[in-house]
Structure 1
């Protein structure tokens, strides 16, 4: 089976890293098209032997990308086209159908209650998403939480399938040697209490709460992995609170870098009040860390007791500071890798995705003329709305000194 994955960009983000993780396990011939930004994940995919094509798209309104994408799909003679992230779905699903591919699946990575990938959910955003969704065969939700949001948008239940995000627990196993090396590189004392955060440095992630909490706990040090427009505001906040020497922003990190950071840390914190999954929390649990989160569907959607090292907290600096003080009093500790982490193993996710591909490939009927396909999805007098300006996506290394909702 030959599969083309279309993604908006390949910087170090949660969806991007998730694609890389899955492609290492999928028993299919996979190729990738990135609409723009062939960043570090593109290099990593090529190193893994996955062909990557950069479409060179110049923005959401670069409509020239659509015929280029149609030609790319036709030349490749793909059995399945799989799209990831908003812009790739908006362009990829019509392009696939125009190219004669009817087995079109999308993964919805980042649909929140009030935004999608940092983009406000305006009427035109939702209309364009809904219209192009009709050109696909199925949408994969990365959690039951996301499936519920799709349902409330009006996506038919039979066109939604939950396949949770995946994690390779072995890649994040605690490594004492990495702990020593990363702490030395960052200038952190061996006995310092280190709080780690991983994700895009954007307002919605609320890393400012972590900085404010650390200011209330003198022995705490903060290390944030990620890039984004909030980097400078966070530095100014740390300086204003008198803790600039206790806050490290280490920039964008890939998977191995995140693993090293988690080994160096004592506590993981995710202050984001809205997440679609929460891979970064699972990675922290795989490293044996106590993990505090404001929202994490990956844990919240599970039966109680499957993630004893994870604790939900209010996104409030004093509540977080109180939790950090308790961790300081308990001293450094590592938990056994919990059942929650193993539940989301990458091998199981790859098997489920391949089974889905097989069903779609078998079920699709003979191709119909592109004009009929477009007419059914965009009945007159439909006006193709503009996606609007592309918000900055500094990956979440994931999510991410090592990455997301990451």
Structure 2
């Protein structure tokens, strides 16, 4: 995995590797150099290998990766997103590419199989010409945070409605829409926990919308404790292939309101385990947030149904079983317990 220091796909890679190792699957994580990621994987009982995963002029990563894999003797090699797929060599293993978005499939030309974390993504791969029998759905899991101690930030007084959004400050996440929605939600406090290139623009928008006293952007924070403390978790993304934040809300037994982008639309049945609003529509988003905040019985029903969805499909155990089944099916010798 050669992704960024933070992000849903990258952090799920870490969680999956650690969970697989704890379940007895031999795992060798090969990662782009990153001290924090290295430390987390080591703390999870793994011995990662760090490589450069540079640009076109990087001529050393592929042979070093090839040597590391041949020494480890895996049955299945999973290339986690574009850059990893570009460097991953063919060998006596099954090479699979794992996509968390609608990426250019030319990066995956050496892969024998592709994995998508939503049904919509798998259907898109097939429409792009990828063989149906080599396109596989395996979902993400979210950490179980139901018993995490909630933490309400000091900026948000007790008894004041508290909505939370999490993620990279990027145009795809549509935090601008959520900030504009705040004008329609008097008395409500919003925390956007994340960092990214849109910070300056969002801070300017907070000032121009005159909601500086009710919107806080502290950077990356303790997401699990914030989720457990919030009244509503909001995912306003205009483009979201999955929506790990929705799964975090389900896990934390919080009502979730999301824009109806690709991933949330697949995860949420409107009115049953969450609420959906039109994409890029601050008025519609505000209406659904106000609905969840104003009807405590509805909010509780949504939260419990979201948790039930999590337990059935997106908790560690069912997802680990799905990954193990996938690896057994594609390994060169299906009778062998796969290493990855």
Using structure 2 for the length normalisation, give the TM-score. 0.86
Give the match's secondary structure for 1:172: coil
- RMSD after superposition: 2.4
Q: Does 1:102 align with 2:93?
A: yes
Displacement of 1:331 after TM fit? 5.1
Structure 2 residues without counterparts, runs of 5 or longer: 335-340
Give the match's secondary structure for 2:233: strand
Shift of the 328–163 alpha-carbon distance from structure 1 to 2, 3 Å rule, reads closer
Deviations 1:248-301 (A, max 9, x none): 112224xxx211111121111111122222221121122222211113655644
Q: Does 1:290 align with 2:255?
A: yes
Shift of the 286–264 alpha-carbon distance from structure 1 to 2, 3 Å rule, reads same
Deviations 1:217-274 (A, max 9, x none): 2211111122110112111111122212221112224xxx211111121111111122
Q: Does 1:229 align with 2:205?
A: no
Distance in 1 (alpha carbons) for counterparts of 2:296 and 2:118: 34
Deviations 1:145-193 (A, max 9, x none): 000111121111111011111224xx22165xx33xx32x442101111
Shift of the 39–290 alpha-carbon distance from structure 1 to 2, 3 Å rule, reads farther
Contact 1:25 1:347 in 2 (8 A): no
Match of 1:200 in 2: 168
1:214-225 pair list within 5 angstroms: 214-225=182-193
Q: Does 1:340 align with 2:309?
A: yes
Using structure 1 for the length normalisation, give the TM-score. 0.73
Shift of the 238–8 alpha-carbon distance from structure 1 to 2, 3 Å rule, reads same
Contact 2:53 2:84 in 1 (8 A): no
Contact 1:34 1:53 in 2 (8 A): yes
Deviations 1:109-138 (A, max 9, x none): 122xxxx4xxxxxxxxx3xx33x5332221
Match of 1:308 in 2: 272
Distance in 1 (alpha carbons) for counterparts of 2:295 and 2:305: 19
1:199-278 pair list within 5 angstroms: 199-253=167-221, 257-278=222-243
Shift of the 356–267 alpha-carbon distance from structure 1 to 2, 3 Å rule, reads same
1:145-184 pair list within 5 angstroms: 145-168=120-143, 171-173=144-146, 178-179=149-150, 182-183=151-152
1:294-373 pair list within 5 angstroms: 294-295=259-260, 300-301=265-266, 308-315=272-279, 316-330=281-295, 333-334=299-300, 335-338=303-306, 339-342=308-311, 343-363=313-333
Displacement of 1:49 after TM fit? 1.0
Contact 2:235 2:258 in 1 (8 A): yes
Higher relative contact order (CA 8 A, sep 6+): 1
Count of residues in Structure 1 that have an aligned counterpart in Structure 2: 325
Match of 1:381 in 2: none
Give the match's secondary structure for 2:257: strand
